[in-house]
Amino acid sequence: MTARIGVVTFPGSLDDRDSRRAIRLAGAEPVALWHKDKDLKQVDAVVLCGGFSYGDYLRAGAIARFSPVMDTVIEQAKAGLPVLGICNGFQILTEAHLLPGGMLGNDHLHFICRDQKLRVENAETAWTSDYTVGQEISIPLKNMDGRYVADRRTLDELEAEGRVAFRYVTGATGDTAPDGRLTPDGYGNPNGSLNDIAGITNAAGNVVGLMPHPEHAVESLIGTGRTDGLPFFTSILKKLVTA
């Protein structure tokens, strides 16, 4: 039986179709889910896609967290349902307290859109098993509120428990651009995220959130021209097939 992976569309979602395409390319069946519906249509996993749900009013993801579909997502995620939050989806996961910490505006106060170098820190989650620890990948990044923050205790717990899934790579030589954070080759912390955190996981490894967009790096002819994002979707497919 083909694995079914749902993609939730909120008002303001931009990347739902891209996420469904990535799922299809990985070999699973994408299922469109609407924010007003509590029924997840018996999917095996859920993707909360990128965009600007509800126009990012109040805070990015703050209103979407209270959409009817999220009641079911939260309940089932706590029971083990794999959930991936991409960009705005990551923001929603923090607002829903499925992942700790929160997202603030980029420290340079500008929207950023570029290919971003990441280092894989955890290859044991439901969404990252097709990577290897230490692997460097290039994934498109586009956000205004991408600065990950948390109190020191939370940061220490994430680090000690190996729950930082991805980290921004600051450069092989430590070189930076004149602004001190961005280099033209995609290295550097692009938004001031603490501990250079680009993505994290919950303790069980079934919920993962990250700011860059793997769904835009699944075909060699578009996006980065690389397929560094495809392992997110092949990882979950293998997880579901072997479960």
- Active-site positions read 87, 213, 215
Can you tell me the distance from the alpha carbon of 136 to that of 214, in angstroms, rounded to the nearest whole number?
Answer: 13
φ and ψ at 132, to 5 degrees?
A: -125, 145
User: Which DSSP helix (H) or strand (E) runs through 140?
Assistant: strand 136-143
Can you tell me the distance from the alpha carbon of 201 to that of 126, in angstroms, rounded to the nearest whole number?
Answer: 10
φ and ψ at 227, to 5 degrees?
A: -115, 35
Structure tokens at 112: 């950023």
Bridge partners of 143?
A: 112
Only one residue has tokens 């609407």, namely 34
